[in-house]
Amino acid sequence: MPAVEPERTSLDPKADHLCVLVHGLWGTPGHLDYLAKSLREKHPEDKLNILVAKSNSGTYTYDGIETGGERVTQEVEELLEQLIKAGTPIAKLSIVGYSLGGLIARYAIGLLYSKGWFEKIKPINFTTFATPHLGVRTPLRGYHSQLWNAFGARTLSSSGRQLFTIDTFRDTNRPILSVLADPSSIFIRALSEFKTRNLYANIINDRSAPYYTTAISSTDPFVDLDAVDIRTLNSYSPTILDPDNPVSPKSTKEPLQPFYTRLSSSGQSLLTRIPLYTALIALIPVATVAWTINSGIQSFRSNKRIQLHEQGKGLDGYRIPLLMNGNSARSAVSGAFRRVNSAHGQDYLPESQDDDSDEEDEGAEENLPKLELKRTSSRKADFPTLALSVEQFEMIRNLDNVGFKKYPVHIRNHRHTHAAVIVRMQKPGFDEGKVVVRHWLDEAFEL
């Protein structure tokens, strides 16, 4: 079992709203301390119960989205049933996922929906922070990108394969992330039930989950900040960008500096980096070997846990139909064709090619209720389209159809923006993350 953590769940019998917090890869409940503390300061105990999920702590996050989602679902169900027995049932549910935790949360709400909980409890807020909704496959050319896509996918057990979308989920012949975004799935139906759906995405320096995947976008306008104008929300400037009109290309380019000025600047920059490059040359081979060995050990342990899980010695009762209206067979066949057609390596698509031109899978949406939700603009015309896979373009379309309010985040004072966005630990450089959390509580979270 995961290491024993201090109890962070906060319950009051008078509160009728439960908020569940789910941490990310290699994470622990302690990573969410600032989120939980800020929630509690904003909303008193008699108004809001807080459950910080702890069943996926540490290397248990290697075990995959499905296994992690079932564990979280069990935690939530046990608490809901406990409160019902005590005569203090929950009437409203919110769920917050950080990094991989956002994907685990999307799986868990599908299970809760399918088991009838949303008929008894009203879903209110669904929020993700720095969650790789499209996976982490890099859409760049070159041997280094190909190496990363191949190596990274095989060092994190099931979670790695799923994040790099090289897995085949059950009998669908598709990656689990594709199934999570299928319009006929219990996961999209569950997501559409929430009153609000918000996401926060770092625009720079998030090496764990880049902007395009956390913002569910086919473009990345922030590759060169010198080439764009950024618009922020006044009360949260300069950290939170305007979700409706965050960025546009600069109308005029900056004047080019004289050649000797640029040469001098480049030379000075290179000289200052020589010690760093020397250290990296010495450390990278050692670190790579150590990382590979540890990943192999952890993957072996993870596979053992997953086998026990599959045999019913861990969790059971969650193996239910995931796709509705009999679409599973059709999805399996179409999934095979998608995977063959998506084998390309360019970094950007040609300007004439538009991901929206792909033929719609009309059968997948046949007889489904239409979601009258506002689609978030991606401002595609202003920026080149990334060379994502066909499945990733479908994920974007389907998730945009459900509707997320997307908040780009510009953290400037620390290069580890993935941790700073939720103030994963108390560090002065993470203070901009406190602005992000304040915005979420004041503007996005509904009690």
Paired with 408 in beta bridges are 201
Question: 253, exposed or middle or buried, with CB in 10 Å at 0-12, 13-18, 19+?
Answer: exposed
Task: List Cα–Cα distances, 197 to 154, 222, 318, in angstroms.
Answer: 32, 23, 25
> pLDDT at position 375, please?
39
Q: Name which of 58-62, 160-164, 363-367, 381-385 the model is least confident about.
A: 363-367
For residue 184, give the amino acid letter. Answer: S
Phi then psi for residue 232, to 5 deg, are -115, 165
pLDDT tens per residue across span 108-155: 999 999 999 999 999 999 999 999 999 988 765 555 555 555 555 555
Q: What is the mean pLDDT of residues 214-229?
A: 95
Rounded to the nearest angstrom, the gap between the alpha carbon of residue 369 and the centroid of all alpha carbons in its chain is 26
Q: What is the largest CA-CA distance in the chain?
A: 77
Assess whether pLDDT exceeds 60 at residue 367.
Answer: no
Contact assessment for residue 137 and residue 161, using Cβ atoms and an 8 Å cutoff: no
- Please work out, in degrees rounded to the nearest 5, the angle formed at the alpha carbon of residue 385 by the alpha carbons of 149 and 214: 60
Q: What is the pTM of this model?
A: 0.80
pLDDT range class, residue 413, cuts 50, 70, 90: very high
The whole-number pLDDT of residue 141 equals 54
- Tokens found for residue 352: 């004439």
Q: State the average pLDDT for the chain.
A: 80
- Rounded to a whole number of angstroms, the distance between the first and last alpha carbons of the chain is 34
pLDDT value of residue 370: 44
Is a pLDDT exceeding 50 seen at residue 339? no
Weakest-pLDDT range from 267-281, 296-310, 321-335, 355-369: 355-369
Q: What pLDDT was estimated at residue 261? A: 52
72, 56 Cβ separation under 8 angstroms:
yes
For residue 202, give every residue at least 6 positions away whose Cβ sits within 8 Å of its Cβ, in sequence order, or none: 130, 209, 211, 214, 408, 409, 410, 411, 417, 418, 421
344, 350 Cβ separation under 8 angstroms: no
The DSSP 8-state label assigned to residue 1 in this structure reads -
Give the least confident one: 121-135, 212-226, 227-241, 330-344.
330-344
Better pLDDT: 316 or 421: 421
Q: How confident is the model at residue 67 (pLDDT cuts 50, 70, 90)?
A: very high
- What pLDDT is attached to residue 222? 96
pLDDT-based confidence at residue 160 (cuts at 50, 70, 90): confident
Name every residue whose Cβ is closer than 8 Å to that of residue 28 and which is 6 or more positions away in sequence.
Answer: 3, 5, 54, 57, 58
pLDDT by residue (tens digit) across 185-213?
A: 999 999 999 999 999 999 999 989 999 99
